[in-house]
A = this chain, B = another copy of it.
Amino acid sequence: MRIRVASMISIAVFTMGTSQVMAASVVNNNITEAEVEQAQQAWGKALIAISAAYSAGGHEQAEQKARQVLDAAYGYGHGAVLFKPTLASGEQTFRTSYDGALAYFVGGNATYADDSGFALKGWQGYEFNNAGVYINGDLALTMGHVMLTDKSGAVTTVDKTWGFKKDEQGDLRIVLHHSSLPYSAN
């Protein structure tokens, strides 16, 4: 529930014959910069959590965790998501469906035979560096570098764009996700 009683916006005291003071009820459906930052952090933690689930319990636990992540952090429950994962290509470049996204993260789906499971790569750490943030109502867009560290300490940098939509419970959900490897002239 996105309700706050914001007394600061009650400019004047209402005293129509009594001494009662009313405070304005405030509903605010907008996304804040702080919420964007939290949603990015949550994505990083979720990726590591899937990797950890895989180490601890194999593919089954990883898939279970990945489903939790997709349910909680992506918008597939409300329609198609515009998702271009880093390593997807050809006719399976875009994963607008839940199944396509799940296959990308944990593999094991014959329909997406090229997917080896991006989230199973033993990710240990993440860093974000936003080049830009664009907030428009209940939708926020971010673009920047994401640096992921695997168990060997190797860092993979990707160019990443996200679109987050705030849902009715006040949670941010990914409705757009374009990730690509940096361009190399060679």
Using CB atoms and an 8 Å cutoff, list the residues of chain A in contact with chain B. Answer: 1-3, 6, 8-14, 16, 18, 20, 22, 24-31, 33, 36-37, 40-41, 78-84, 86-91, 93-94, 96, 114, 127-139, 141-145, 147, 157, 159, 161, 163, 165, 167-168, 175-176, 178, 180-185
* A26, closest chain B residue (CB): B133
B82–A145 CB distance below 8 A:
no
Q: Looking at the complex, which one of B1, B127, B133, B181 makes contact with A25 (CB distance below 8 Å)?
A: B133
Q: Which of A83, A88, A130, A159 has the most B CB atoms < 10 Å from its CB? A: A130
| Copies of this protein chain in the complex | 4
Q: Looking at the complex, which one of B9, B91, B114 makes contact with A33 (CB distance below 8 Å)?
A: B9
In the bound assembly, the distance between CA atoms of A89 and B186 in angstroms comes to 12
B183–A181 CB distance below 8 A:
yes
Q: Looking at the complex, which one of B114, B136, B178 makes contact with A159 (CB distance below 8 Å)?
A: B178
B29–A136 CB distance below 8 A:
yes
Taking the closest CB of chain B, its distance from the CB of A29, in whole angstroms, is: 5
In the bound assembly, the distance between CA atoms of A114 and B183 in angstroms comes to 12
B20–A91 CB distance below 8 A:
yes
Q: Looking at the complex, which one of B14, B93, B130, B132 makes contact with A182 (CB distance below 8 Å)?
A: B93
* A175, closest chain B residue (CB): B134
Taking the closest CB of chain B, its distance from the CB of A139, in whole angstroms, is: 5
